[in-house]
Structure 1
Amino acid sequence: MTTTTHRHRPHERRVSPVFLAILAVMGVTGWAVWTDFAASTSLAIFLFVTSAWIVSLCLHEYAHARTALHGGDITVGAKGYLTLNPLAYTHAVLSVILPVLFVIMGGIGLPGGAVFIERDRVRGRWKHSAISAAGPLANVLFAVVCTAPFWLGALDGVPAAFRYALAFLAFLQVTAALLNSLPVPGLDGYGVIEPWLSYRFKRQIEPYAPYGFFVVMALLFVPAINGAFFDGVDALMQALGVPDVSRYCGSQLYRFWESAPEICAV
């Protein structure tokens, strides 16, 4: 007699048609931006960046789940987390809808949540830290890919509109990675250090954990904190070879419902 376990169910790891559809939108609209095929370049940039942003959110959560699987939580497959389906997340609103709305309204990469990891199945502090770190690392890798043409000096032949879109998309990845890496309860940065904290300290912090994310968002409205944060983002973008004007034009063209400045004409 054989026994089927979570590790031997192929359908639990089969890529979701929902994710493939989003990936297709990203590919088609990316092609439209590159070739200037669309009647409205700004609308094509909006669809390309939005769909690519959702793809990155799916990869972020997949990284958490995949690392948890190797860490000992074999239930992530049954929950649909390995299919890259954004509708399978514990909080689809927080994971996808809210981050997309923030991009549309404010042009900032908002860290989302969440896949539910059964932490009691994971043994070892390093494994717990790795599970939390995997998500932001996915954003970092996405940012590296988006900025590769810039820091490799391979911009010859890359249309201005596509260059601007990549710069803005990289900006979203960098902001999401930085925000999510903060050691604040509710964010992945705290999840990285939590296994190493004393039991007493964690018990004291636990009641405030649900509010950590909202505290960070509120602090970003403080001018001094906002300025320091985005100065850090700009420094990282420049280190990756992305000019300020490219990111600026990308964010301006993304808002297809507004008129873009002349400097961003494509």
Structure 2
Amino acid sequence: MTGHTHGDRRVSPVFLGIAAVTAVSGWAAWTGFADNPGFAVFLFVTAAWVVSLCLHEYAHARTALHGGDISVGAKGYLTLNPLKYTHALLSIVLPVLFVVMGGIGLPGGAVFIERERIRGRWRHSLISAAGPLTNALFAVVCTAPFWLDALDGVPDTFRYALAFLALLQVTAAILNFLPVPGLDGYGVIEPWLSYSIRRQVEPFAPFGLLAVFGILWIPEVNEAFFDAVDAILRGLGVEEWDTYWGQRLYRFWQGTPDVPEITG
């Protein structure tokens, strides 16, 4: 199939369902409706994280469509349906598991772009950059109440949830932009490398993400990484206090803490 139909771009009911879970759980976290605020935060952050993963992949696909790859419509990439990705496990399941385990926004990356249809190195670079730029934009939106100094009236539980969600977006953007084979950052620079270098690097692409996470287990690297994340979040008005309590609430299975109220 070379063309596209209106159905190729219709927003999937699956995505709408995830968005609905985000809205309802966000409302529960805001109003304190749930008996267990930690569970409401868990649902809200997880569902919103999956929404951001869908938007990340959509950004790749939409940019590829405008770059010349009209096959993305037939593959279902423009419907925001996470089940249409080449590797739903890599794009959805593993990122959610990493959030639960360690509070790190694992890069996804599972839309298959027919690169031979794309003309021009800048277009190739932009297609790769579109995903992590979406995470960066998501972080800016999540932190808007902080850097706009508009937190009056925002319940602390919801504030902390937004802060933790923003942390995930910042970690995802940073990790995605690393110039490591298999990650979007390498996809940005790859079109500008010589053919021989690309051929030499190609076999390592499947292991790039594993290598990054292996290196992140080194305490000094982990500390430096999260120092950088904290610095970016502080620039957006989010303090370490906010992200700490957001993660504590998120891990409701460890016992919901008595969330301290912010005064002053």
TM-score band, normalised by shorter chain:
over 0.9
Question: In the aligned structure 1, how far is the partner of 2:145 from the partner of 2:166?
Answer: 12
Q: Select the residue among 194, 198, 210 that pairs with 1:198.
A: 194
Q: Tell me the equivalent position of 1:96.
A: 92
Q: Report if the CA contact (8 A) 1:253-1:264 is conserved.
A: no
Mapping of residues 26-65 of structure 1, within 5 Å: 26-65=22-61
The amino acid across from 1:116 in the alignment is F
Moved more, 126-135 or 222-231: 222-231
Q: Tell me the equivalent position of 2:10.
A: 14
Q: Select the residue among 136, 140, 145 that pairs with 1:144.
A: 140
Q: Tell me the equivalent position of 1:186.
A: 182
Q: Tell me the equivalent position of 1:163.
A: 159
Please say if 1:130 is aligned against 2:105.
no
Shift of 1:232: 0.4
The amino acid across from 2:117 in the alignment is R
Q: Report if the CA contact (8 A) 1:132-1:188 is conserved.
A: yes
Question: In the aligned structure 2, how far is the partner of 1:62 from the partner of 1:220?
Answer: 28
Q: Select the residue among 98, 113, 119 that pairs with 1:117.
A: 113
Question: In the aligned structure 1, how far is the partner of 2:69 from the partner of 2:161?
Answer: 37
Q: If the length of structure 1 is used for normalisation, what is the TM-score?
A: 0.96
Q: Select the residue among 78, 85, 88 that pairs with 1:82.
A: 78
Shift of 1:208: 1.0
Q: Report if the CA contact (8 A) 1:30-1:44 is conserved.
A: yes
Gaps of 5+ in 1: none
The root-mean-square deviation of aligned C-alpha atoms, in Å, is 1.3
Shift of 1:262: 4.4
Question: In the aligned structure 2, how far is the partner of 1:165 from the partner of 1:175?
Answer: 16
Question: In the aligned structure 2, how far is the partner of 1:101 from the partner of 1:58?
Answer: 16
Q: If the length of structure 2 is used for normalisation, what is the TM-score?
A: 0.97
Q: Report if the CA contact (8 A) 1:57-1:96 is conserved.
A: yes
Identity %: 70
The 3-state SS of whatever aligns with 2:253 is coil
Please say if 1:106 is aligned against 2:97.
no
Total equivalences in the alignment: 262
Gaps of 5+ in 2: none
